[in-house]
Structure 1
Amino acid sequence: MKRRLSRAARRALRRLLRDRFLEEEAACLAYAYDASGLIRVPEAVALPENTEEVSRILTLSYEEEFPVTPRGAGTATTGAPLAPEGGLVLCLSRMNRILEINPEDLVAVVEPGVVNARLKEALARRGLFYPPDPASFRFSTIGGNVATCAGGPRGLKYGVTRDYVLGLEAVLPGGEVLSLGVRTLKGVVGYDLTRLLVGSEGTLAVFTRITLKVLPLPPSRGTLAAGFTDEESALSAMQEVLSRGVLPAAAEFMDRVTLSATGFPEREVHGLLLFEFDGPEAAVKEDLERTRHLLAGKTRFLKEARGAEAEGLWEIRRGISPALRKLGARRFADDVVLPRSRLSFFLKEVRRLSAETGLTVACFGHAGDGNLHVNILFEPEAEPRARTLREKILSLVLELSGTLSGEHGVGLTKKAYLPAEVPPAGLSLMRELKRLFDPKGLLNPEKVL
């Protein structure tokens, strides 16, 4: 049953936010979507500009008992920033200030609405670097990245968002403001509530300030594209490179379905690897040469690229998700992770299941750390078959000691599968944590659990 915004709550929100409180249906529709394909229209939208306003909104939510759904740029693929119970969408896009960049401490402090690419640009001007780079980095926000523990191609060498979050200012349901974590590289005082909140998908608290670790900007970068006549050869070659002590910043894989959708010009290439190396120029040259040597005689083509040419190759990678739309009006998209040694077997089994059902499946992504984006593409009338295929693929992931999500989270679209991976005792503990943080169940309801 939906818990609606009362007249009293609406009056209070109008007084607090004025024209930053949106009630018209047309305005609310703009906040009813993300990248999942789901549509959930909120009753109203709030656009706070500071921590005090967020605190007052969550205090009012607790008193009037209406649900609140935190939202950044709406780039999630799981329905996490959508409002299935109506209520209020709390959009943090106006809290978009870079508050501090400290080169001596290698720390940046930002508000949640700062776009990932904008932070990277500001840091680069100071000779600094924030590694997490989801495909949506040009428009996704740091707050959303933290809420989902976003990864990206560079996760192989540099890790994911949680590895860079030192501290959080967070507002609890009821309006209490907490300052969590540290701004030092070490800190083990008490339970690590900061890491608990990273990846919690807005179900436990709302972030209003984020303290991040940053790194010196690598002085040089080089990309190597390697094309293969089949997918298995590509994955085997990647294993060969990584097992010989070469550590790329990224090692990305595209299967034959993906390459076809992107219009990749080399038609005889059915498996593609993109390696990126960074660091001092001499080290980059050495890594590129070693990788060329390891791949010699195994590829259909090898292409080294720098600068704008390299960026063009990475734009192909970042453009995969929209390119796949031409292969089906609907899709189920999962970001599974497997041990690298089992990727080839997994892909063979996916191809077998795809042939059995007559449905198209595209697999691509961060194969260097075992993270594949599995997209089942279909027309609406084939949805029952697609659901069955998805269940078989996800069951296979778990059989192979994998996990059902590496960086996109659970949201609405994956919560039905959570009990397949998390044992009953773990689920019970998660539910208790949710009740401790949010006893009335008002913050991002129906997500994850």
Structure 2
Amino acid sequence: MSTLLDELRTAVGDGAVLVDADVTESYRRDMMPLAPHGAPLAVVLPKAATEVQAVVRACAAAGVPIVPRGAGSGLSGAANAIEGCVVLAMTKMNEIVEIDADNRLAVVQPGVVNLDLRGAVEKHGLFYPPDPSSYDWCTIGGNLSTNAGGLCCVKYGVTTDSVLGLEVVLADGELLKTGRRTVKGVAGYDLTKLFIGSEGTLGVITQATLALRPLPQAPGTMVAAFSAVETAGEAVSRIVREGIVPSLMEIMDATSIAAVEAHLKTELGAGAGCAALLICQSDSGGEAARQELRAIEQVCEDVGADLVHSTFDLAEGQMLLAARRAVLTALEVYGAWMTDDVCVPRTRIAELIAACERIAAEVRLRVAVVGHAGDGNMHPTIVYDPTSEDEFARATVAFNDILAVGLALGGTVTGEHGIGKIKRDWLEKEIGPIAMRTHRAIKAALDPDNVFNPGSMFSMPT
């Protein structure tokens, strides 16, 4: 291993190879407490694709696995170190290489922070839509590797919908270029989408060409309070059925509302007895936005909302959205949390929330549900005492019970966080043996020695 470390230092420089256990400790795991993790041999911080190529070749020759990593904001353990691996932390590759305003695209390295990219393109009157809840510190590379979503998915889609092409270092150290800079193109297999969401198991993304949109208008915001979750679910179904496409449609259950109000020391206007809060935005601008919000208001009133309020005051709208984004932070006062990531048909959101209430009662723990109502992607979050083995065990039971409910409702075990190292068994339950065989065949073709992130998503036969 000393020979490998020497080769790594030659490739990236002495200061970019970290081996001190106190330093590498923070690179061992992401934000999901359930996922296993080990101690890396080293953490390497490359600054260029050529350095990544050299690291990959050195590790492959030594038979040492590589775990690519972004900022560590993940919630599936996909970037967790395995014992004796090299963690390839891509945060130093943080250059916005190009912003082409005329063709509405940006070329970026994987370590660029999502919020920094959004700020940079806004100066050109442009918009990068994907906005995970950790958008102020998560990196584009991590977003690509997990196909991250966010609050604006209902109108703008997830990460893959904004990617035109990639540069990827393969297991043999060669640099693959996929996709193109044009809006359309169907030459060959869609290799770009193959790597998006692959959790670093097929290659290391070193550059991305991203599609941008015109900067939307400042949004109007609507909030509706419901005394029954079923009523809120009916409102969501009707909004979708009527073809209304807001730029954002989020739902919070009673537990989430109470936690946020206590954390922010403010009232969201939900009132006593509120079972669910629906927050919608329209960024269509002017009269179009007003008409869109009026149509959503009408739906909410028709199904029996207890309160409906719209505002075009930017500060008030930002306050309501900040409350939605603050849910996980607000829950920390009650203990540690593990957040789930099930996506169900939008007509079954209410059933999922009701099931989470039942599971919370069964395991005797707090479960808060918040999520993207516009696409059915819910984030039930289980709160527990991290010093209690019993509570951790019960939280784990709840986590898996919620996944089972999601599948039973016709959904998926992950809408945007990924499979990682915590849902490997669930992947096979969801997609079946033939799909698993196909996954393993693709992995074997691109990474025959299982160098990249072994054990993430699924295991390979020995």
Match status 1:312 vs 2:310: no
Runs of at least 4 residues off by over 4 Å: none
When structure 1 is superposed on structure 2, of 78-87 and 129-138 the one drifting more is 78-87
Deviation at 1:68, TM superposition (A): 1.0
- Structure 1 residues 327 and 292, CA gap change in structure 2 (3 angstroms): same
Instruction: Name the counterpart of 2:420.
Output: 411
1:388-407 residue pairs with structure 2 within 5 A?
388-407=397-416
- Secondary structure of the equivalent of 2:341? strand
Match status 1:444 vs 2:457: no
TM-score w.r.t. the length of structure 1 is 0.95
Q: Which residue, out of 82, 85, 88, partners 1:87? A: 85
TM-score w.r.t. the length of structure 2 is 0.92
Aligned residue type for 2:290: K
Q: Distance in 1 between matches of 2:240 and 2:454?
A: 42
Q: Which residue, out of 368, 371, 378, partners 2:374? A: 368
- Secondary structure of the equivalent of 1:199? coil
Q: Which residue, out of 332, 352, 371, partners 2:358? A: 352
Instruction: Name the counterpart of 1:3.
Output: none
Match status 1:383 vs 2:392: yes
Match status 1:190 vs 2:198: no
Aligned residue type for 1:219: Q
Q: Distance in 1 between matches of 2:357 and 2:258?
A: 16
Name the Cα RMSD after superposition.
1.6
8 Å contact from structure 1 (residues 231, 256) kept in 2: no
Deviation at 1:303, TM superposition (A): 3.0
- Secondary structure of the equivalent of 1:185? coil
1:157-306 residue pairs with structure 2 within 5 A?
157-263=155-261, 265=267, 266-268=270-272, 269-296=274-301, 298-305=304-311, 306=313
Mark the runs of 5 or more structure 1 residues left unpaired by the alignment: 1-5
Q: Distance in 2 between matches of 1:220 and 1:378?
A: 39
Q: Distance in 2 between matches of 1:292 and 1:400?
A: 28
Aligned residue type for 1:253: I
Deviation at 1:234, TM superposition (A): 1.9
When structure 1 is superposed on structure 2, of 119-128 and 350-359 the one drifting more is 350-359
- Secondary structure of the equivalent of 2:340? strand
When structure 1 is superposed on structure 2, of 31-40 and 281-290 the one drifting more is 31-40
When structure 1 is superposed on structure 2, of 368-377 and 226-235 the one drifting more is 226-235
8 Å contact from structure 1 (residues 99, 109) kept in 2: yes
8 Å contact from structure 1 (residues 220, 281) kept in 2: no
Instruction: Name the counterpart of 1:321.
Output: 328
Q: Distance in 2 between matches of 1:334 and 1:386?
A: 11
Q: Distance in 1 between matches of 2:49 and 2:85?
A: 20
8 Å contact from structure 1 (residues 85, 445) kept in 2: no
8 Å contact from structure 1 (residues 252, 273) kept in 2: yes
Q: Distance in 1 between matches of 2:141 and 2:319?
A: 28
8 Å contact from structure 1 (residues 221, 279) kept in 2: yes
When structure 1 is superposed on structure 2, of 186-195 and 241-250 the one drifting more is 241-250
Match status 1:423 vs 2:418: no
Instruction: Name the counterpart of 1:76.
Output: 74
8 Å contact from structure 1 (residues 67, 85) kept in 2: no
8 Å contact from structure 2 (residues 218, 314) kept in 1: no
8 Å contact from structure 2 (residues 233, 348) kept in 1: no
Deviation at 1:304, TM superposition (A): 2.5
- Secondary structure of the equivalent of 2:78? coil
When structure 1 is superposed on structure 2, of 89-98 and 37-46 the one drifting more is 37-46
Deviation at 1:339, TM superposition (A): 0.7
Show CA shifts across 1:43-73 (max 9, x none): 2111111110000000101111111111111
Identity, in percent, stands at: 38
Deviation at 1:267, TM superposition (A): 4.4
Q: Distance in 2 between matches of 1:154 and 1:349?
A: 26
8 Å contact from structure 1 (residues 221, 281) kept in 2: no
When structure 1 is superposed on structure 2, of 89-98 and 27-36 the one drifting more is 27-36
Match status 1:7 vs 2:14: no
Aligned residue type for 2:355: E
1:106-185 residue pairs with structure 2 within 5 A?
106-185=104-183
Deviation at 1:327, TM superposition (A): 3.1
Q: Distance in 2 between matches of 1:293 and 1:403?
A: 31
